[in-house]
Amino acid sequence: MGKKHASEQIAKWIFTVFAIVAIVAVCSITVYMIKIGTPALFEVGVIDLLFGTEWKPTADEPAFGIFYVILTSIFGTAAALLIGVPIGILTAVFLAEIGNKKLVNIVQPAVELLAAVPSVIYGLLGIMILKPVMYQMELAIYKDSPDHQFTGGANFLSAIIVLAIMILPTVINISTSSIRAVQPAIKSASLALGATKIQTIFQVVLPAAKSGIMTAVVLGMGRALGEAMAINLVAGGSVNLPLPFNSVRFLTTAIVGEMSYSSGLHRQVLFTIGLVLFAFILLTNIILTRIIKKGETE
């Protein structure tokens, strides 16, 4: 008993140290981002920076408005979630409740393989497959529009589709695990009361797995918000309103695309964009975590 108690105490201390390291890491990143990202806010001005619509960092009279970039990240992530989350949850239902074992054994490894594919590969596939299709759609829709700036298929819609595909593995894998974790007795009780299998899945199993599914959505949102390389290849890179066939720039791609040649105030503003992105992710995670905890207590 003494050895068992000692090993439990050692394990407890190890886990405590790891938890403290994680907290210190998050706090350190937060302090660093605030320290390095706030000077440009005061130099450019909060209103001009966050709500300005012109981005001309290298002009004789530079402008550093990132309002369109913020809108692009918000609407792009929301649209990707609207597309990817329903597909991911329905696929998880198939894997956990409906599909036969042979088919599940084929689909499950394929989903896991999607999670292992590097993001740049998604971008390259977007260039080779998605951009030509988007360009043909763009030509068909705007063929009589003299004011439209053609993007060659690298536009907001392409970025949304790529992001939606990229979040699928996260949503599917975590949702599948959550659905499988629902106690069989709950499903048996529902079936015994006369509910059909589909009614049991959507009215009993999914609500019981709600906490895990919400976690999958949060992680998928984090993947979409933080993605840079893939959408840098398919979004176009111009600072515009986030309309489907506009060339756009996300918060992440703004940093990736210009950090290598930036200097002075331009470089400071890029760090401020990183601060805005960090604050946005932190805020949405806090809100969604509270929603998850509230759902667990109901």
CA distance 100 to 211: 26
CA distance 277 to 283: 10
H or E segment and range at residue 288: helix 264-297
Closest listed residue to residue 129, CA positions, set 229, 223, 234: 234
CA distance 280 to 75: 13
Mean pLDDT for 238-263 is 87
Contact 233, 127 (CB under 8 A): yes
Q: For all residues of the chain together, what is the average pLDDT?
A: 87
Q: Is the pLDDT of residue 296 over 70?
A: no
Domain 67-297 = CATH 1.10.3720.10: yes
pLDDT in tens, 153-179: 889 999 999 999 999 999 999 999 999
SS3 250: coil
Within 10 angstroms of residue 87's Cβ, the number of other Cβ atoms is: 15
* pTM of the predicted structure, to 2 decimals: 0.86
Q: What percent of the chain has pLDDT over 90?
A: 25
DSSP at 140: H
